[in-house]
Structure formats: structure tokens, C-alpha cells
Amino acid sequence: MGYSFWIHDDILKKHAMRILLADKQDITRMGLVHIVLDMNANELDSIPTLEWKYVEDKAEMMLALTDDDEAVVVLDYTLFDINDAEELLILCQRFSHTRWLLFSEDLSVDFVRVLIASSSQISILTKDSQLSEIRAAIKYCIQDRRFICQHMTEVLLAPPPVKAVEKVNLTKTETEILKDIALGMTTKEIAEKRFSSFHTVNTHRKNIFRKLDVNNAHEATKYALRAGLIDSAEYYI
């Protein structure tokens, strides 16, 4: 007696891949959604169907990954509430099927070296990348491969510069904003306090991070504490 069976079409379809957009800049979000929709329309012969979702903070992101960690997280590390490389690597271990695409500005070389040496789940893409590189990075992550953009590859391969030991020179405004950042104020709150636009304060924030060679508010706060810009008692209140 012979047996025959058939497989339902739904089983033959490629499993949909979730893209979690962990980026707080609206224009970046819109651009990423456009890329995802275009990839759905034109590249389904080589990738599964893509589903996208915004996540506003670390708690929402972790909730989404706890439900199903087979996903690609496009993460603006410099604006998201992840404290340091160690915490990001812990998330990689916890969500072992997740690919992390760091899509950020001004990531320090030492920070990137630690990440790529510690986890193959992490890819790097700077926000000045060409559209073709952004598409390629997302595609690599979907296919469970690492992607390092051309700009960061060149930086990583370049000989280390000879750095003179010198004090970081922040302007009066940058020093005031750094203190506010260290005290836990958001960019929006600082802008309201200073009667400035969000864009102006965000530009100062980027300049501060670049001058201090840090990646986020947590690392900037450590500098502010060491430099005596804020008292530790103020910080822990």
C-alpha cells in the first residue's frame, strides 16, 4: 500500500522576517520603511516577505523579541536607551536568533572593534551610507550574514592616529548641555529649557559626543562625572 501526501502552499512560502525599527528620528524611520516596502516589491525572489514595526524604547524592543527573536533590529545606538557595549552584547546573548544592524552616526572605532570581535550578530552601517549600502546591509542581516559598511571598514583598517593627550575643549553651551544630558534630561526637555529648537540641541549633542569620542548619553555622563561638571550626588538623585 502506497502513501501520498501534499504540502499546503502556506508551508512552502518563505517565513516572513520582522524588521524592528529602533530609531527615534522620523525621517530615518520613513526612509527605512520605504526601503523595506521596495524590497518587498522587488526582491522576494531572494528574501522572505518583510514585516516592519517601530519600537520606541528598549522595553518595547525586548517585548517584541521575547515574543519571537527571529528578527532584524535596525538600531540607532546613539539615540536609543542602551547604556553601553556590554549591555548590547548581553542582548545578543539573550536573543540569539536576532541580527542587530547598528545604523548610527559617530560610533567610535574602539566601540565598534569590541562589538564585532564579540558577536557575529552585529552589523555596522553609518548614516552617511549610500542607499545601495543600506539595502545591502538589510539583505545581509536577513540572510544571517554580517555587514560592515565601506566607511567603517576603511576606518577599522586605517592605522591608528597618534593622539596627543589634551583636555577636551567644549564651548560654554556644550558644557551646559552636557550637564543637562548627564542629569537625565532628554533633547526635547533641554531644548525647552534653553528656548532652542530640537534640531539645534541635537546638533550640539552630536558635537559633544564627537569631541568626547563617546557613543551615547551614558558614556557622556561618565565623562561629566570624571570632569566634575556634575556632582555624583546630583546624578544619583
- Scan for cell 546630583, then name that residue: 234
Helix (H) or strand (E) holding 53: strand 50-54
The pLDDT of residue 207: 93
* Domain formed by 172-236, architecture: Orthogonal Bundle (1.10)
Which among 19, 28, 20, 24 has a CA at the least distance from the CA of 126? Answer: 28
- For the domain covering 12-157, report its CATH number: 3.40.50.2300
- Average pLDDT in the chain: 84
Mean pLDDT within 39-48:
84
Ordered by start, the domain boundaries in the chain are 12-157, 172-236
Residue 97 has pLDDT above 60, yes or no: yes
Joined together, the cell numbers standing for residue 3 give: 502513501
Give 57's contacts (C-beta < 8 A, 6+ positions apart). 80, 81
Give me the amino acid identity at 53.
K
The pLDDT of residue 106: 78
Q: How far, in Å, are 36, 44, 96, 194, 219 from residue 86 at the CA level? A: 30, 36, 15, 33, 12
Residue count of the chain, please give it: 237
The pLDDT of residue 118: 94
d(CA 195, CA 140): 43
The pLDDT of residue 44: 78
- For the entire predicted model, the pTM comes to 0.65
